[in-house]
Structure 1
């Protein structure tokens, strides 16, 4: 019965995706990032958002983001004095309201490491955070092995948001895994390797509990330390690589 139930769930997921239109697909097969799609976020966030708002230690550079062997490779490094890493987004290029996002990725690991796949409301420059809303499809913090965090940040609950789920998977650090969010006007469902792990659908949907009725853009990054990833960082783990095989967006 359990096997049959799992097969039925997978079948329904497949039907849902097949009924949607593929609006963006990136397999990182070239020699460099497509500048018409991806933007680099650079520096340490200063002066407006030092430590990227989380007391993170890394400086983001373009050199820490590469295309190699058909993968996007974001490398976190430490030279004995400075931590560097990479962060890219699709702001102003690929933005969408409702749909399904799939990212196949292999985690960077180690104490202090914080890879993430997430989205921000495209109106963030106008309304600020958290009014823009934030959808965290996948966050992994190396100080807590085998755990994937899935979280929503809203005006009603942000920072240490109550809208969160921790999923434990003993082999999540091994090889590539599929991280997915299915977003509609009624709910946001999150999957790891096509298994449903969290559904967010508040009974009352207003600007405080549901800032998810406008376009969002995608972010891929590898942070170091910070309020969530740290505060302790094991300097012996570097370099660490966050590998992304592909990104697909359906509507």
Structure 2
């Protein structure tokens, strides 16, 4: 679910996490997309000998310039463990060819091996690239393929089954397991009751001139008609009815709940059934506590300092942006938002009648999305800064059902349908010392930075100090200082010491 998009949201439901790109490469799940340069193109297409088997089409243009294809791997190729790479090569023409495999981004200098392929028209050739012949050693994370260097004869070739004989790792393995339940709502009422207002806030004001963004066609209300607890379940109900609210008349109503709980890191589990009907757009997601969206709970509490997407958004589950039963997750940051590349979908059998557990595991290093305990997308950017990783600050949960917008045309026969939620649970690891708990109350961002250091905390700051690695104090500020100008300092590592009463914590800060 999104706020204030200016870009079209066109989800690509075949997109696979960049972090799933590891050996072996057989293109069987339409993953392993190669990048190109110099006029080459790449596509995943059926094998010319078996239409049910996807292969990589590596096209070489008529340019005599060096050109080729490369892929960055999440699990590097380790030549110390295995020094041969094999692949299958298919040529449509009667000419001989030369295939080069080059390894880059390694612990040692780039290294390559070429193999001459004799004429083998309309047939597969099995090629072996022996890196021991050129003294190959170490690990490399980029695989490059070039075909017929210097040739001006264009050609389309197929490549399949690229293998270094390594055992692939699980790209969605959780790096932190969270076990302690810190916040939940089990929706235990047996009779119809209002949502617990100590845990949830009804966000009803449309920040886009009285309505919502993305062309959505609903008003959100705090009425029992649109959200209530009954028989152990929360019902968030979208209804076909005309309502004038904030001076705007719309033909559908629903509810949007903000959690009055915000957190940094942990696991979220939500067990839910989704509404039925074309044009329904249910979502389970989070926004940064600092988002300045008018009418959001934390904005009304004075925390609205940051625009979207700089606040960060984590979409745990959305439905309606593709075919029925395609649910998806997505991440929106300044580096990728709206039509974000950080997205993935998962096909289920019957989301309207079957409960599923939609989960997110958020650690300081990666975010993994799961359905029924199975990970299907992991976000772990190599560079974590304010553009790619605004996720070292608190986020809060949102539950809502929108109508129309990017979910498309609404079924003209639609009357009403609920998102039914069995529970919402947040887990963290609370087995920390008193000092660890106190330190966790302070966030320093951005890090790295080149101009300002910001401190976010609910604790009282009495003074701050900044030291270089020689132990020299560079800056000292008294009072409740939460922003420090470091634009005049040299790049390098510094130590920030934050004092709160008779206690203090230190944070490592990198200036670039």
* Structure 2 partner of 1:62: 222
**Higher RCO (C-alpha under 8 Å, 6+ residues apart):** 1
- Is 1:229 paired with 2:407? yes
- Is 1:115 paired with 2:282? yes
1:200-240 deviation digits (Å, cap 9, x = unpaired) = 101111100111010000000000001x212x111312211
In 1, the alpha carbon distance for the partners of 2:414 and 2:366 equals: 38
- Is 1:22 paired with 2:184? no
> For structure 2, which runs of at least 5 residues remain unmatched after alignment?
1-169, 243-249, 292-303, 429-512
The answer as to whether partners of 2:205 and 2:211 remain within 8 angstroms in 1 is no
- Is 1:239 paired with 2:416? yes
2:341 aligned to which of 162, 182, 186: 162
The answer as to whether partners of 1:103 and 1:248 remain within 8 angstroms in 2 is yes
C-alpha displacement of 1:16: 2.6
* Structure 2 partner of 1:171: 350
- Is 1:45 paired with 2:212? no
Aligned length: 232
Q: TM-score, normalised by structure 2?
A: 0.44
Higher helix fraction: Structure 1 or Structure 2? 1
In 2, the alpha carbon distance for the partners of 1:233 and 1:35 equals: 31
Pairwise mapping of residues 92-107 of structure 1 onto structure 2 (< 5 A)? 93-107=260-274
In 1, the alpha carbon distance for the partners of 2:339 and 2:393 equals: 23
- Is 1:89 paired with 2:258? yes
1:31-87 deviation digits (Å, cap 9, x = unpaired) = 32221210001143343xx54221110001112111111111011111366210111
The answer as to whether partners of 1:109 and 1:142 remain within 8 angstroms in 2 is no
In 1, the alpha carbon distance for the partners of 2:258 and 2:377 equals: 24
The answer as to whether partners of 1:44 and 1:58 remain within 8 angstroms in 2 is no
Q: TM-score, normalised by structure 1?
A: 0.87
In 1, the alpha carbon distance for the partners of 2:333 and 2:321 equals: 25
Larger deviation: 34-43 or 117-126? 34-43
Higher strand fraction: Structure 1 or Structure 2? 2
In 2, the alpha carbon distance for the partners of 1:143 and 1:116 equals: 13
Is the partner of 2:413 in helix, strand or coil?
A: helix
The answer as to whether partners of 1:106 and 1:242 remain within 8 angstroms in 2 is yes
The answer as to whether partners of 2:194 and 2:227 remain within 8 angstroms in 1 is no
Larger deviation: 73-82 or 57-66? 73-82
> For structure 1, which runs of at least 5 residues remain unmatched after alignment?
1-8
C-alpha displacement of 1:173: 3.2
C-alpha displacement of 1:197: 1.0
RMSD between aligned residues: 1.9
Is the partner of 2:212 in helix, strand or coil?
A: helix
In 2, the alpha carbon distance for the partners of 1:154 and 1:98 equals: 17
